[in-house]
Structure 1
Amino acid sequence: MSLADKVLAVNNDLPIRTDQRVHSGKVRSVYWLTEADSKRLIEEKGYDVAADAPLAIMVISDRISAFDCIWHGEGGIHGVPGKGAALNAISNHWFKLFKEQGLADSHILDIPHPFVWIVQKARPVMIEAIARQYITGSMWRAYEKGEREFCGIDIADGLQNNTKLPELLITPSTKGILKGIPGVQEVDDVNVTRKNIEENFAAFNFTSASHIADYERLLKEGFDVISAELAKLDQIFVDTKFEFGYVTDKAGNEKLIYMDEVGTPDSSRIWDGPAYREGKIVENSKEDFRQLLLKHFPDPDILLNKDRMEERSALARDNALPEAVLMQISKTYTGIAEKIVGKPIVLSENPKQEIIDILREQYDLID
């Protein structure tokens, strides 16, 4: 079996029983189960959710996106071997730790396969909750140009690139396009202040203004849990993005939960500790792939300049990356995952067929 066969590139064509359109994002596809199947599984499996809660099968892929494009490799390799399993394994590990330490639940109810989650429908908080422990990347570029206010928070002068901030900084941005909020642009992923959120909490999907402090607490506590665990592995948790939502449990209580993914190389920057102490930055995250692309192509401005999106899309479409590049990124993802979860990430021989077999035999969800 070729390497291309072991990569799950297309994940929106599985014969999972659904009466809705499959929603396919950059990396994951979501299959909303029929009302009958949702109710049956809640009863059969004893999930702690409302009896009528909609459930979905969420299937990860090995696709890799960077600079708002999906990239591929030579030999028909349309993803990074092991990436999907690595991302899910890392998220599963942190979500479990959060629950054990009494922080909050996640949207995940069951994990049938390394590529698959059974999730409950949540009402998302419309915030990309970003926390930063070090100044680097886009924040450093803005700081270097003289910017000292980030999301309504003033930052001191005299900071150096890639150094630790005086305290954990929360720099939220919008999730999707939010309309009618004074002072907030109607575009996706625009920075907002805490004051913006407080004065328009309902527009951000908060049930109550008091829940803003709850999301900040869960963000900080979640960040601290991951940071402390990574420190034991001599890895540095630099910055990350969390997402939150509301669900209702079996007893009818509404609660704020973690959703999407947490502490992964796709949603976070993780640096190697020994290299950092020697004055070098070794990325154990997707940033490694971004930097590799910037060096690989002769004109990096295409990747960095939003006005050149058409050229950038053509670059991703027309250039198959060398297999060695994809394997280097595979090593980054599986390497940090194996450190975190303490066991090997095994590549499936035929991931799609494995998923179909498990969902048919154990969950009766395949037509």
Structure 2
Amino acid sequence: MATAIKETNFSFPGQTGFYRGKVRENYYFEDKIVIVASDRISAFDVVLPEPIPFKGQVLNQIATKFLEATRDIVPNWLEMVPDPNVAVGKLCQTVPVEMIIRGYLSGHAWREYKAGKREVCGVPLPEGLKENDRLPEPIITPTTKAADGDHDQDISRAEILRQGIVSEELYSLLEDYTRALFQRGTEMAATEGLILVDTKYEFGINNGKVFLIDEVHTPDSSRYFYADGYAERQEKGERQKQLSKEFVREWLMANGFQGQEGQVVPEMNEEIVKSISERYVELFEKVTGEKFVPQDYSNATERIEKNILANL
């Protein structure tokens, strides 16, 4: 097994700040941001103890592909990719609302529905739906960050506007971008025999202009089903074959962990880590339709630092 990149701790000329997120390191400069995609993995808002080889490269390269493929819909933050694990782009002020859009009743929305709720984030849902059913039309179910920054909180459009989190004009624009991006993602997924089930988009402001930021249509931010056999599986009440990080969440839940107080992350032995790594490589190849070319891990942090310095 390759040695995974658990973290980086660089100090660059002209650097003005640093922030370590759940899975990425953000290096701030006066007018740009350098993001290093580590191999850390999180689920239920918890960073798991073992990093996953190649995960950072997979996510960075998938995000790059879809950012480039959606520039005609909305401008985005990305300016260059000097290393398979690195993205460099415009420093934006983050809009404090994540735009989640769902075409199917899966994941969190299904758990809410199963619990008896017929409304998610102020959006009504019809009776009689089963898990993974296609919704009558895609719905936007936004979240906003809690004060401690740890957990995403469901919120409705009406409540966002009532609290003045963003203006109605800006929120309407984000809705338009979200629907157009989801349509493009759906079309691109279909060419690879996939269904884009749900995904999230984040936006930022730079010089008064809205930019798409963060990752786009990656398996960490999106859920995909295999299109082949979807209808038959639904009709029989079988589990859908999917490409997403949900398999990690399912493994954790099966071992008694959902990120709740007092719960302990199950042991991540070498076999589990290897299997997750292989799934991420499979995700890359299926989502992009391209062969994954793993990077040399022997001097990964030195390689990353060198490539960043050469492009500052």
TM-score w.r.t. the length of structure 1 is 0.77
How far apart in 2 are the matches of 1:70 and 1:192?
A: 24
Asked whether the equivalents of residues 15 and 356 of structure 1 are also in contact (C-alpha less than 8 Å), the reply is: no
- Aligned residue for 1:3, secondary structure, equals coil
Equivalent residue number for residue 310 of structure 1: 262
Given the alignment, which residue of 129, 132, 149 partners 1:159? 129
Deviation per CA, 1:25-48: give whole Å up to 9, x if none.
011101112x4xxxxxxxxxxxxx
Asked whether the equivalents of residues 39 and 52 of structure 2 are also in contact (C-alpha less than 8 Å), the reply is: yes
- Aligned residue for 1:338, secondary structure, equals helix
Q: Which of structures 1 and 2 has the bigger CA Rg?
A: 1
CA change 1:277–1:149 in 2 (3 A) is closer
- Aligned residue for 1:210, secondary structure, equals helix
Asked whether 1:194 is paired with 2:191, we answer: no
Give the root-mean-square deviation of aligned CA atoms.
2.1
Equivalent residue number for residue 181 of structure 2: 222
Equivalent residue number for residue 3 of structure 1: 2
Deviation per CA, 1:330-353: give whole Å up to 9, x if none.
222222212333332222223212
Equivalent residue number for residue 219 of structure 2: 265
How far apart in 2 are the matches of 1:213 and 1:23?
A: 30
Equivalent residue number for residue 34 of structure 2: 57
- Aligned residue for 2:283, secondary structure, equals helix
Equivalent residue number for residue 278 of structure 2: 331
Deviation per CA, 1:114-165: give whole Å up to 9, x if none.
1111122112111111111111222222212321122222211111111101
Asked whether 1:131 is paired with 2:101, we answer: yes
How far apart in 2 are the matches of 1:275 and 1:353?
A: 45
Asked whether the equivalents of residues 89 and 341 of structure 1 are also in contact (C-alpha less than 8 Å), the reply is: no
How far apart in 1 are the matches of 2:42 and 2:121?
A: 26
Asked whether the equivalents of residues 152 and 194 of structure 1 are also in contact (C-alpha less than 8 Å), the reply is: yes
How far apart in 1 are the matches of 2:259 and 2:172?
A: 36
Asked whether the equivalents of residues 81 and 347 of structure 1 are also in contact (C-alpha less than 8 Å), the reply is: no
Asked whether 1:117 is paired with 2:90, we answer: no
- Aligned residue for 1:159, secondary structure, equals coil
- Per-residue deviation at 1:278? 4.1
Asked whether 1:285 is paired with 2:244, we answer: yes
- Aligned residue for 2:103, secondary structure, equals strand
- Aligned residue for 1:128, secondary structure, equals strand
Asked whether 1:79 is paired with 2:51, we answer: yes
Equivalent residue number for residue 23 of structure 2: 27
Asked whether 1:69 is paired with 2:46, we answer: yes
- Per-residue deviation at 1:292? 2.1
How far apart in 2 are the matches of 1:131 and 1:259?
A: 16
Which residue identity lines up with residue 24 of structure 1 in the other structure?
R
How far apart in 2 are the matches of 1:160 and 1:311?
A: 29
Equivalent residue number for residue 355 of structure 1: 304
- Per-residue deviation at 1:276? 2.7
Deviation per CA, 1:267-292: give whole Å up to 9, x if none.
11112222534413222111011112
Deviation per CA, 1:60-90: give whole Å up to 9, x if none.
1011111232224xxxxx4111111110111
Equivalent residue number for residue 51 of structure 1: none
How far apart in 1 are the matches of 2:124 and 2:15?
A: 49
Considering fraction of residues, name the structure with more helix: 1
Which residue identity lines up with residue 175 of structure 2 in the other structure?
E
CA change 1:141–1:343 in 2 (3 A) is closer
Asked whether the equivalents of residues 45 and 150 of structure 2 are also in contact (C-alpha less than 8 Å), the reply is: no
TM-score w.r.t. the length of structure 2 is 0.90
Count of residue correspondences: 305
CA change 1:19–1:96 in 2 (3 A) is closer
- Per-residue deviation at 1:305? 6.4
How far apart in 2 are the matches of 1:305 and 1:288?
A: 15
Which residue identity lines up with residue 57 of structure 2 in the other structure?
A
- Per-residue deviation at 1:17? 2.8
CA change 1:166–1:59 in 2 (3 A) is same
Asked whether the equivalents of residues 261 and 267 of structure 1 are also in contact (C-alpha less than 8 Å), the reply is: yes
How far apart in 2 are the matches of 1:117 and 1:145?
A: 40
Asked whether the equivalents of residues 23 and 30 of structure 1 are also in contact (C-alpha less than 8 Å), the reply is: yes
Identical-pair percentage: 30
- Per-residue deviation at 1:188? 4.5
Which residue identity lines up with residue 22 of structure 1 in the other structure?
F
Asked whether the equivalents of residues 82 and 345 of structure 1 are also in contact (C-alpha less than 8 Å), the reply is: no
